[in-house]
Structures are given as C-alpha cells and as structure tokens.
Structure 1
C-alpha cells in the first residue's frame, strides 16, 4: 500500500466543549482580538516567571502549565478564526513562543513543539481532512506532542478491516506525558513508506514514560512512548513523510524550515530571558572583575569597562541572531502564502535561510547562556537564583539539533546550489 502525498491543507484539531465563537473583529470566545495575543503571552510569561525556579527544581509533570496554556487560548493560536482558533500567523506565533520561552524554557519548548506538530496537517493532510481536524482541535484545545523526525525508527502501521493498528516504541517525543494527541512517524508494511499518524493518547495501548530524565527542560514532559496494537482510523493517517526526490511538493517541504524556525525562536527566547535576569544582577551587584577595574564599585550604574564590553557583546549576538530569525520568518510566511504556487528554488531558499537562522540562534544562545553567568560572577551559582536553568535548557535542546548539520546545508547551497534534504528535527 502506498499513500500518495496529499494536497496541503489548513490546520487541525475532539472535545466536549463547543467551538469558540468568533466575532467580526476576530475575537474568540475568550474575547481576544488577534492583535492581543502578544499581550496575552506576556501576561502568561509574567505568571510563569513568578515561580519558574521552584517549578523547574521540583520537576513535576507540567499538567498545570499546559492547563494555563489551554486557558489562555494560545494552543489554537495558528488555527484560522473561522475554524474557532486565534487566526494568527507565524510571525505572531514566533513572538508568543519567544516571550514564553524567556520566562520558562521548558514551557516554551512545550508550546513550540505543539505549534509545529499541530500545524502539520496543513503540510501532510488534504484540505478537507485538515479542516475537520482543525475544528475539533480548536474546540477541544488539544495539546499536541510526539515527533516525526527521521532519526526515530518508524513505528509499524498494520492494515486491518477497520483501519490500522499501530505498534512499536518511539525513543523520544515532545510533551508525551501531557499530550491529548500525538503526531508520530510510522512505516507501512511492505513498502516501508513513512507516514504521519495522529494518535489519541486516551486509546488503550498508548504508554508514555522513559527517556525523559534530562538535565534541562525538566518540565517539557518529553521521553519515550510505546504503542501496543493501538487502533488508528484511516483519517488519522495524515500523509507521506517520504524524503525521496519529488515525493513531496515544495509547499509540503516547508515543514522542515517551519520546524527549524521554531527551534531558533526557542533558543532566542531562552537567551533573552537570561539576559533580562542578569541585567538586573549587573545593575545591583559588584562586578566579578572588580579587582581589575580602575575604580572601586560605588554602587551606582555599572561603569566597569570589562562588564560593559561583555554585556555589549552578548546584546549584539542576541540582536544579530534575532534579526536573521525574523528575516527567515518573513520568508517562511511569504512561502506559506504562496501555497502550491511555490517552486523548488523558492522552497530551497527558505529552507537555507531557516537553517542559517537556527544555527545562528543556537550558537548565540549557547554563548549567551555561558558568558552571561561569567558576567554575574560567583553569585550566578546560587541555586536560589536558578540562572543555570537557562544554560541547561539551551544545551539540552542544542544537543538534539547539532549546528553542524545546518551549517553543512548552508555551505552546500552556497558553494554548489544544492537544495537541503528534507529532514525534520527531533
């Protein structure tokens, strides 16, 4: 059996509550005009920041955090308003993601993964089916977890009289401990064709756990998940994930840069969050380089040239990576708007720009979350400040997404004009 790649579609989405009511000005049942989403994200971030250190150190399953995301309406941010969602585009989603990640990296990771996975019906399912999923998703405010990266050994999808049975173990999935739905990669017996499969976590045979004991992103509810003869309907098989040349349209290929930019925005959010924290320390605490300073610290505005230079370098790194990410985000938005009119070369340019943005953001985040602690000095090691969580969240993420792969893609395109291969991140 071969599942041909369907035409791209709209977004996703079963629940016991009705779909949000949308008014002419774009407001949902939450009373939120779409232009207010960044403000809602800021309020949520401020709320998360009040106890971020305590929650991160406790490391409990983020049920409350996901409930806050659900109550805010941010989970269905990218769903068109006419289908009950927030009606926002990826520019807004990037702003929201960075704002949340700056306050709590693990919750930012949860939200970013959800945005990408819940958007995948637009890439891999047909328009009618994607619209049905999306309406149900928005009505139920599902949280999406899982992962469809090619690094994962595919699960097995066995045909039955009424659909399929899903079996196997996925070593790593995002948010698997709290997800309402999982999007996973499975293989069709015989052909081995990889397909994207939507799974209801309430189905018998879905068991999450294991592999989530990382030193960072402790509240991301990530880890392994097993499937034991889990029933799957034909409608829940969204479409092909084949990376063979010509198997996917240029529009469908935008799934990869979409995911890359989620990664970049997450890195930038965490880096900006730490910069905001250390700025307050830098204004009120003596410089760790005080013995080398020409004048003793008087308690006034910092004047130590070493400190000012260090913060200047970190601010430049953050702003440069942010500008590149925003440029790539604008290119992605234009590509998504072109839809099926997008050609291969345009898709490749967007993919390369997204790879460059992810590489720059990852490098900037690693530099900032390391050197900013040096600028604070010995007090940065105090557990009560929780500054180490920014470094740990960043490093956990970048270990899964090595910068070297993105740099190779950019270099091959620059030198040889080679289009980046279709690959989805972990």
Structure 2
C-alpha cells in the first residue's frame, strides 16, 4: 500500500496523515479453516519485532497493511455479500492467535469488526452491498466512539444533524483505536431526536483531524488517541441507524465483549508460552530445590500446571460464549441475547484473571533476569493491565449474579 513506517512519539498535537489506499484488492478468505491458518501464519510474522515496536513506539503501519490485505478483516462479511461469514468461535480464535503474538496489533481491528457487524444488523441492502464491498476490498474501518469528557461511557456530546442531502457531524473523541490507520472512520453521534447514529466518513474528509496523543503505558502502538470532528459532512448512504442495535436488546454488546475477552486470552496464552520457554532455557533452579534445572523445580512445575488449567478454563468459557453469541445472532430475541451477555461476562472474568496472573507469574517463575531491559517482557504485563480495564470485571460478577439469583437480564447497553 506504499505507506512508510513511522516512528512516533505520543502526546503530539500534529494531525496524522491518512494512510494510502490499497493498490490491489485484499485476499478473500472463504472458510473457517483458512481464517485460522492465515492468522497463525501472520502471528509468527508479527511476533518478530513486537517487543521493538512497543519499546520504540513504532506504529505498525507496514504490519497493518499485511494484516488487512490478508483477508482476515473481512471474515465476518456475510456469505450473501461475498465474505466467509465465519462463526464467532472462529473470530475469537483469530483474535487470540494474533494477540498472543502482539496484543496491540490484535486490538486495532476490534472496532472494525464491531462496525462490520453493525452494518449487517442495521444497514439497508444498498448500504450492505456498498460497505461490505469496501471491507472486502481491503479498506479498514477505524473507531470514533468513546469520549473523554462525558460523565460515563454512554454520555456522548458529539452531534449529527441533517445537512442538505446528507449530514454534518461535530464533536471530539478519544480512545480512538485504529482511527490513525483507517481508510474509513465510523463516528458515533447523537441526532436531533436523541438517537445514536454512526456516520462512516472518509479518513481524509475535510474537518476530520486524527491526533496521535495516546500515552498509555500499555498497548502503546494501538495509537488510541484523539479524533476532532469539525463540520464533517457525511453522505446519507454512509449513515447507519445504530440505535436499532444499541437502544434495544441486540447481540452487539456481547459480540464486542467477546473480542475483548479473546484478546485477553491471547495475551495470557502468549505470556504462558514465554514463561515456559524461559523456565526451560534460561531460568536457574532455586538453591533449596536441589535440582539441576529450573524446569524440575516442583513448585515451578505446579504453578505452570495451575496457569495452564486456568487458561484452558478461560478458553472453554470463551468458546461456550462464542456459541451463545452465534445463537443470539441467529435468533436475536431477549432471552437468547441475555444468555449471550451472561456467557460472555463469565468468559471475560476468567480471561481477565488469567491475563493478569500469567503476566505476573512470568517474572516470578523466570526469575530476576526476565526483568532485564534487553528482554522487554514488561510489555506483556502492561498490555494485559491496560486492556483488561475495558468494561470493568467487578460489574460482570454483578450482572451474572443478578441473572442467576434474581432473574434480571443484563443491561441493554453495549458494554456487556
């Protein structure tokens, strides 16, 4: 796609240039098996240099071009519109595989997948035909959802209003993962009737400014910074009635949450694999163990066993949750959606726990030398700690308990 690799420093206020569009169409993946195989191939490639990208905060422009051109960003486009229409279980597995290699790279397309599903759920036939065609061609959808100044995550100040034959949008967004690298930027805004709409505008639209000011200690190369929207014009055929999915029971929330949980599971998987490798090849046994190798230390063996058990439990709940989300997509009724929300909440509790536990235990079991700057392993804990802050787990326990104890369905909003 011709875009050069850019080493970036956060907190700047200079607008980030729009990426070049693909010079040729992306590959189109046709089956579940192909999606998983492509993800594994890319993960091996993305793992190389992941530590250096984080250390230098080098934005993964070249890697993203490879990622989206691989066809993985189009796997949820329905078969009727030329895509593979893969199951949510396959989506979860793809995100896990990529996150185990580079959690930042795995996070960037999360909102692309959410908007792709929003098109499926709320778009007209003409919108689906046009927008799915753009996705399959290799164009990336970004994210201009969350805002920094509202009293909570649903308090939006961004507004959209009729303007001639189209709409005009004004506001400011933050946590805009993927917007820097996007070809199309979906903007969540409130219309004159107080309803949520999503305007999908070109990345280089006049009045749209993307600022690289993401300064978190984790997920450093997701570039989840600021989007400024000043009188941005959106054509009517690029505006989705998102309220149809967000203001009533729909699978949109659990679908989004499922990918977040998958990323956490992938972080855990990658950290445990790294721990095993370090214990086998580099760690020293504790003096009191009487062993020649760290891998023969009985306490280390037991803790590796515990990590694997907890990971497998989290992955099992994740797979179960994916099946419930698929069922809710097929039958979007209140009881099926509530069950999907609860199942995903249960999975998110365990994937959060194992992501943090695994990235902590890495240092304990691999020893002090694992903290040396040359290894740059602290990025795994920083990524886990940052990403697991999405949608607080303490409220997942509450939602699950309310459902089973009092028969109360989870809230309708998209954060569960």
TM-score band, normalised by the shorter chain? 0.7 to 0.9
Aligned to 1:94: 92
Structure 1 residues 265 and 310: CA distance shift in structure 2, 3 A: same
Aligned to 1:6: none
Query: Would you say 1:298 and 2:288 are equivalent positions?
Result: no
Aligned to 2:36: 38
Q: How many residues align?
A: 391
Structure 1 residues 234 and 32: CA distance shift in structure 2, 3 A: closer
Question: For the Cα contact (< 8 Å) 1:187–1:193, is it kept in 2?
Answer: yes
Question: Aligned partners of 1:31 and 1:157: how far apart in 2?
Answer: 35
Instruction: Give the 3-state SS of the residue equivalent to 1:208 in structure 2.
Output: strand
Aligned to 2:320: 327
Structure 1 residues 349 and 127: CA distance shift in structure 2, 3 A: farther
Aligned to 2:12: none
Question: Aligned partners of 2:297 and 2:268: how far apart in 1?
Answer: 23
Question: For the Cα contact (< 8 Å) 1:268–1:361, is it kept in 2?
Answer: yes
Question: For the Cα contact (< 8 Å) 2:29–2:71, is it kept in 1?
Answer: no
Question: Aligned partners of 2:383 and 2:72: how far apart in 1?
Answer: 22
Aligned to 1:310: 303
Structure 1 residues 127 and 243: CA distance shift in structure 2, 3 A: closer
Question: Aligned partners of 1:18 and 1:43: how far apart in 2?
Answer: 21
Question: For the Cα contact (< 8 Å) 1:62–1:178, is it kept in 2?
Answer: no
Query: Would you say 1:421 and 2:414 are equivalent positions?
Result: no
Cα displacement (A) at 1:172:
2.0
Question: Aligned partners of 1:124 and 1:31: how far apart in 2?
Answer: 24
Cα displacement (A) at 1:402:
1.4
Question: Aligned partners of 1:383 and 1:151: how far apart in 2?
Answer: 40
Cα displacement (A) at 1:154:
3.5
Structure 1 residues 82 and 278: CA distance shift in structure 2, 3 A: same
Cα displacement (A) at 1:131:
3.0
Match of 1:109 among 101, 107, 110: 107
| 1:223-372 superposed matches below 5 A | 223-241=225-243, 247-248=247-248, 250=249, 253-287=250-284, 290-293=286-289, 295=290, 297-299=291-293, 302-338=295-331, 342-372=332-362
TM-score, normalization by structure 2: 0.87
Query: Would you say 1:50 and 2:44 are equivalent positions?
Result: no
| 1:72-87 superposed matches below 5 A | 72-81=70-79, 83-87=81-85
Query: Would you say 1:376 and 2:366 are equivalent positions?
Result: yes
Aligned to 1:393: 383
Cα displacement (A) at 1:167:
0.6
The CA deviation string for residues 21-64 of structure 1, in whole angstroms up to 9 with x for no partner, is xxxxxxxx568655222111111111111211111211122211
Question: For the Cα contact (< 8 Å) 1:125–1:239, is it kept in 2?
Answer: yes
Cα displacement (A) at 1:210:
4.9
Structure 1 residues 314 and 38: CA distance shift in structure 2, 3 A: same
Question: For the Cα contact (< 8 Å) 1:142–1:179, is it kept in 2?
Answer: yes
Aligned to 1:167: 170
Structure 1 stretches of at least 4 aligned residues deviating more than 4 Å after TM superposition: 14-20, 29-34
Cα displacement (A) at 1:153:
2.4
The CA deviation string for residues 317-373 of structure 1, in whole angstroms up to 9 with x for no partner, is 1111110010000111122223xxx32112111111111111221122111111222
Aligned to 1:24: none
Match of 1:64 among 62, 87, 93: 62
Question: For the Cα contact (< 8 Å) 2:371–2:378, is it kept in 1?
Answer: yes
* Structure 2, gaps ≥5 residues long: 1-19, 147-152
Cα displacement (A) at 1:71:
2.5
Question: For the Cα contact (< 8 Å) 2:185–2:202, is it kept in 1?
Answer: yes
Question: For the Cα contact (< 8 Å) 1:144–1:182, is it kept in 2?
Answer: yes
| 1:111-190 superposed matches below 5 A | 111-139=109-137, 141-148=138-145, 150-151=153-154, 153-189=156-192
CA RMSD of superposed structures (Å):
2.4
Aligned to 2:17: none
Question: Aligned partners of 2:298 and 2:161: how far apart in 1?
Answer: 66
Cα displacement (A) at 1:18:
7.5
Instruction: Give the 3-state SS of the residue equivalent to 1:230 in structure 2.
Output: strand
Cα displacement (A) at 1:175:
1.1
Structure 1 residues 183 and 30: CA distance shift in structure 2, 3 A: closer
* Structure 1, gaps ≥5 residues long: 1-13, 21-28
Question: For the Cα contact (< 8 Å) 1:287–1:375, is it kept in 2?
Answer: no
Cα displacement (A) at 1:399:
2.1
Cα displacement (A) at 1:386:
2.2
Structure 1 residues 86 and 59: CA distance shift in structure 2, 3 A: farther
Question: Aligned partners of 2:325 and 2:31: how far apart in 1?
Answer: 24
Structure 1 residues 19 and 104: CA distance shift in structure 2, 3 A: closer
Cα displacement (A) at 1:389:
1.1
